[in-house]
Each structure stands twice: as structure tokens, then as C-alpha cells.
Amino acid sequence: QWTTASIVDEQVARIRERIGGGRAICGLSGGVDSAVAAALVQRAISDRLTCVFVDHGLLRAGERAQVERDFVAATGVNLVTVDAEERFLSALAGVSDPEQKRKIIGREFIEVFEETARNLQAEAGEHGQHYDFLVQGTLYPDVVESGGGTGAANIKSHHNVGGLPEDLRFRLVEPLRELFKDEVRRVGLELGLPETIVHRQPFPGPGLGIRIIGDVTRQRLDVLRAADAIAREELTAAGLDRDIWQCPVVLLAEVRSVGVQGDFRTYGHPVVLRPVSSEDAMTADWTRLPYDVLERISTRITNEVPEVNRVVLDVTSKPPGTIEWE
């Protein structure tokens, strides 16, 4: 019988054995998986862990401040924030293929981690220990859907599974690789992480980059960020955060439709609301959100985000749809 406490003990022991007296860095995405992975490794090796938060410009509104504030307050972990918007956006320029985007983002993450490890090493001086280990919050479903499970097709390359370079100079530590999301949440609570972190809705590592259908530009990101912030605000205000698994907002950047605002014709872009209910993200059902909540979201987005003149609802389950559009 696996209790949460025994999962924690077993993982902590395994991490200690793997890392020994070495040092590790852990990429924090703002999501629950990397937060729990980091907290587990911190329990195992204490301040020989440094967390790295990459601000890749594909984040949602307020996300960076939340990680810098809440996660550090909860764990006291060493955190380095890296400003990497410029490099991610130039690497993504002109790319609209979903798998290519995922691979580019995965590669840039690794390069930033490698540079950060080198900088930390330089600060520690010649006799400091190397940062040889990279902690990732990979879950069992990520492994399966990236084609790493037995016999599974590659559905999507999760940024931290399918996007890794072959000559990776880190040794990986993935303490959640055998767990599902609900188990990860229980482990997080067991480790003393606050509910605000443990019950945060999933958000993909590649961020808003895979929620823009078409190539990713700063201007499109700003539009999507504004629409996403409104949807999240209204869902929270309606008390629905714990009822839905997540609600991606997707910008159809290559689609335009005619609308009317006041006395004027508009020719703007649609955004898609993708509210889903799920147990483990392997399958999902579209959530029947109350009409009045949908109406508030739609009215506010079309009033407050000038580039968007239409809000549509995705009523596809998984399968056949996936949760994210890319």
C-alpha cells in the first residue's frame, strides 16, 4: 500500500542516492509539477539545490511575480530568475508548426539552464562543486504522450521530454516520473506547500507559445495575455477554479472575421475558450460552464481587447481533441 508519506520517503532516498554530494538546478515553470519536484529535491539535498525561473516571454500575466513571491516564501529555496524573452522570441520567429515550436522551446530551456549552471559555477569559484543535475517535474502522462511509454505514439513532445538534446550535459532527476497529477498534489501537501501552489491549475511549460495558432510574436502574446487574464479573473470570481481542470485560451492568430463595434466594422481575431474537466489529463471532457460566466468573459474580452472581436467555445472532449491546441 503506497501512502503519500511513503512515496515522499522513497523519492527522497532515491534523490539522495542519485545526487550524492552534488548540486542540482531545477527549472520552475510556475506550475505545480515543477514546484513539487523542487520541494522534494530540496528536502533531499537542501541548499545544494538552486531553482531557476526562466521568464521566456510566454508567461501569463502576473506569473513571474507569483513564483518569485509565493514559492520562495513557502520554501525559502534559492531562486535565480533569468530574463530570456528576447532569445525565446527570436528563436521562435516565423515558426508556426506545433512540434517545431515545442522542440525550439525545449532546446532554449536547456541552453538557459546550462548557462545558468555555468554562471553559478563561476560564482562558486574553482573549488565549488559543479551543478551536474537537472531536476524536472515530468509526470507519467508526459512520458506516455511524448512517446516514452511502452508502445505509445508520440502525440506531443512535452517540452521537458521530447525536446531534450542528445548531448545533454546534465544528468536528469525526475522524481515525479511515475506519478499522476492527483498524487503529485498529495505529495505537495505532504511537503507543506500551500494550497495556492498545490491546487494551481496546470499550465504547460511552453506557455502561451503553444496557445497562439500561427507564429508567435510579442504583439500576439500581449493580445492573448490580456484575453487570458480576463478569462481567469472571471472563472475565479465565479468560484469555479476547483471545478475545472484548466481553461486554456487560444488565439487564432491567422484567422480573421468581420464584426461590428459601435457603428464601425471590425476585422479581428477569434479566441477560443477551452474549459476542461479531467482526472489526470490523459482524457478530458469539456466543461459545461454556466452561460452567465461565458457571457461575462465574452463581453469583457471583446470590449477590453481591441484585436479580438469574437469568442468561441471548444466543446470537444479528449480524445479526440487534446487539451492544448498544439
Q: Which residues bind ligand XMP (CB under 6 A)?
A: 145, 156, 158-159, 202, 204-206, 246, 281, 318, 322-324
Ligand-binding site membership of 34 (annotated):
yes
Q: Which runs of E-coded beta strand occur in the chain?
A: 23-28, 49-55, 78-83, 131-135, 171-173, 212-213, 249-252, 257-261, 264-273, 276-277, 285-286, 308-313
Residue reference for cell 481575431: 269
CB of residue 53 to ligand XMP, shortest distance in Å: 14
> Where is 254: in which H helix or E strand?
none
Question: Which residue from 248, 257, 200, 222 is spatially nearest to 74, judged by alpha carbons?
Answer: 200
Question: Which residue from 56, 77, 67, 84 is spatially nearest to 31, judged by alpha carbons?
Answer: 67
Ligand-binding site membership of 125 (annotated):
no
- CA 130/CA 124 separation, integer angstroms: 9
Ligand-binding site membership of 31 (annotated):
yes
CB of residue 110 to ligand XMP, shortest distance in Å: 13
Of 156 and 177, which has the nearer Cβ to ligand XMP?
156
CB of residue 242 to ligand XMP, shortest distance in Å: 15
Ligand-binding site membership of 33 (annotated):
yes
Question: Which residue from 40, 35, 3, 36 is spatially nearest to 19, judged by alpha carbons?
Answer: 40
Of 188 and 206, which has the nearer Cβ to ligand XMP?
206
Of 57 and 206, which has the nearer Cβ to ligand XMP?
206
CB of residue 142 to ligand XMP, shortest distance in Å: 6
Of 109 and 268, which has the nearer Cβ to ligand XMP?
109
Of 159 and 296, which has the nearer Cβ to ligand XMP?
159
Sign (positive or negative) of CA dihedral 135, 36, 284, 213: negative
Which residue(s) pair with 104 in the sheet?
none
- CA 191/CA 48 separation, integer angstroms: 18
Amino acid letter, residue 136: Q
CB of residue 24 to ligand XMP, shortest distance in Å: 19
Ligand-binding site membership of 32 (annotated):
yes
Of 161 and 229, which has the nearer Cβ to ligand XMP?
161
Annotated binding-site ranges for ATP: 29-35
